[in-house]
Amino acid sequence: MAEPRRVPPPAPEAFVSIAGLSLTYGAPGQVLVNALQDIDIAIDKGQFVSLIGPSGCGKSTLLRIIGDLLSPSTGKVLIGGSEPREARLDREIGFVFQDAALLEWRRIRENIALPLELRGTPKAERERKAEELIQLVGLDGFQKAWPRQLSGGMRQRAAIARALSTNPRILLLDEPFGALDQITRDRLNMELARIHEVTGVTVVLVTHSIREAVLLSDRIVVLTPRPGRISRFIDVDLPRPRGLEVRNDERFDDLVRLGNRELEKGYM
Amino acid sequence: MSDTVQKLLRPNGFVDLAWPPVAAFIAIVILWEGLIAVFEIPVYILPSPASIWLAITTNPGPLFGHAGITLYEAVAGFIIGSLMGAVLGTVFAYSKIIARGLLPYVIAANTIPVVAVAPIIIIWFGHGIGSKIAVTAFLSFFPLALNMMKGLQSYDRTIMDVFHIAAANGPQRFFKMRLPSALPYVFVGLKLNVTFSVIGAIVAEFVQADKGLGFVIMTSYRTLAMPRLWAAMLMSALIGIAFFALIALLERIFVPWHASAQDNR
């Protein structure tokens, strides 16, 4: 067990602040697993941050803690000054999972409007918002399609639209494009960059692709293997808006190399 | 009008799909009549299609009356048993303790042959239609209880997370997530119950009744009125088929996402 650690005060200027966060799980009497240790991250409003690390490093776990799907053992997360639970109840969190998790019994438009429906938003406004999001994510013409009729990439677009329906202040994405082919993935990366630019939403993306992280992020947080600790921050100083051609940039390659070196430290 | 005709005639249209079974039916009837004539099979072994047809059409009133009674018992028992099964299945899905306590007995009760239970239920519920409905309800109870429970537990865990992030309350989780996820299972149970409910009604009538198709079958058997017995059997099959078609139609209406998935394959 790590010795108790003084929790540093969260940086007041940061929009999201994660301070002294650790997660240990396991029932009493069992071997305790240290999933995350001493995580301190500050994220500015509108920033795009990626969490990257080897599988099992706890990056998804960290994202789930931010989204109030899990509670940390120690430490604190604040989103715009509120605890994750408050932020969630105020519908300020949008979450996109690796699986699109659409409701097969609802048409695409009703899937996108689901969080609004659960909040009790009137029907006319729900439909207006859903229509706006359908345009934003490029699903025009599929309003009345069933989820099963859509390809994997389109299902993920719908999941992003659904996550944005309540105008959240933070969008959390857990390896959302991991199951997609490279071309679809490139296209959705560009869509995500555009959505981030247009909406100005703060984004935290979990990915295992350093190239994806460099392409999209302002800042990359590299985590070590279990227990997940912060190995280093990489600030991505590539100009915005970025297109896929930024990958031909020398600076892009430098950053990818830097990231890979940092990741490799973990396995060596 | 000619549009409708065109629709019926196109490949995979009604005519295209319907003619092979219709042709087979005609061939079987002709063969059946022929075999009886050639081998002089006595009517109590195998009545001819013509004699069955006569048993239905000469004085059809009583036979259809009996069929109506059986249909009523089957449908009423189906509805009562399915509803009660759905309620218990929901309780099981929400309470692990109750499910663990009662499930073994529910499964055990499900293996009791209906013929063994029917006399007991008739003693309890009397000699009228009510006891036949009760036997049918008894049979319809278990498939729905088990399928409802399984269906309500079958929801996707990530969708549960989506509802959590959206701060959904308990009733919203039930009506907008768990119940819709359960519907395909519910229809599996309902389709089983269609068959069971006709069986339940007729078996109950075997044990004790003065009307219904089971009663007709038993009295025809005692008097060796075989064409009448065959006619009653045919009617019970028709009831089952019509009932099944109705449930299949309801499934298309209430589970359209499944139907559309099949259309797209």
**Confidence at B265, pLDDT banded by 50, 70, 90:** very low
Closest Cα of chain B to A238: distance in Å? 33
* Residue A74, φ and ψ in degrees, nearest 5: -140, 165
Question: What does the alpha-carbon distance between residue A108 and residue B170 come to, in Å, rounded to a whole number?
Answer: 24
pTM confidence score: 0.83
Residue A35 and residue A25 in contact, taking contact as beta carbons nearer than 8 Å: yes
Interface probe, candidates B161, B165, B183, chain A, greatest A C-beta count within 10 A: B165
Q: Contact A118/B176, CB-based, under 8 Å? A: yes
CATH says A48-60+92-267 is which class?
A: alpha beta
pLDDT score of A54 = 87
Average pLDDT, chain B: 91
**Confidence at B260, pLDDT banded by 50, 70, 90:** very low
Residue B28, number of CB atoms within 10 A of its CB:
11
pLDDT score of B261 = 45
The residue that leads in pLDDT, B114 or A205, is A205
pLDDT score of A56 = 80
Q: Contact A148/B158, CB-based, under 8 Å? A: no
Low-confidence ranges of chain A (pLDDT < 70): 1-12, 267-268
Q: Contact B180/A99, CB-based, under 8 Å? A: no
Residue B168 and residue A91 in contact, taking contact as beta carbons nearer than 8 Å: no
B158–chain A Cβ distance below 8 A for any pair: yes
Give the C-alpha distances (Å, rounded to integers) separating A225 from A34, A37, A62, A69, B69.
11, 11, 13, 22, 71
pLDDT score of A11 = 53
Q: Contact A99/B168, CB-based, under 8 Å? A: no
Question: What does the alpha-carbon distance between residue A176 and residue A51 come to, in Å, rounded to a whole number?
Answer: 13
Q: Contact B264/A149, CB-based, under 8 Å? A: yes
Residue B90 has pLDDT above 90, yes or no: yes
pLDDT score of B257 = 80
Of B194, B110, B94, B104, whose CA–CA distance to B149 is shortest? Answer: B94
Question: What does the alpha-carbon distance between residue A109 and residue A97 come to, in Å, rounded to a whole number?
Answer: 19
Q: Contact A88/B165, CB-based, under 8 Å? A: yes
B159–chain A Cβ distance below 8 A for any pair: yes
Question: What does the alpha-carbon distance between residue B51 and residue A216 come to, in Å, rounded to a whole number?
Answer: 81
Q: Which domains does chain B have, with CATH numbers?
A: 66-263 (1.10.3720.10)
pLDDT by residue (tens digit) across B185-198?
999 999 999 999 99
Question: What does the alpha-carbon distance between residue A141 and residue B55 come to, in Å, rounded to a whole number?
Answer: 59
Residue B72, number of CB atoms within 10 A of its CB:
15
pLDDT score of B63 = 92
pLDDT score of B174 = 95
A99–chain B Cβ distance below 8 A for any pair: yes
DSSP per-residue letters across A215-230: HH-SEEEEEPSSSB-E
Q: Contact A67/B165, CB-based, under 8 Å? A: yes
Nearest-by-CA chain A residue for B159: A101
Question: What does the alpha-carbon distance between residue B172 and residue B185 come to, in Å, rounded to a whole number?
Answer: 20
pLDDT score of A265 = 82
Contacts of B164 in chain A (CB under 8 A): 68-69, 88
CA B87 to chain CA centroid, nearest Å? 20
pLDDT score of A9 = 54
Query: Cis before residue B119, ω within 30 degrees of 0?
Result: no
A119–chain B Cβ distance below 8 A for any pair: yes
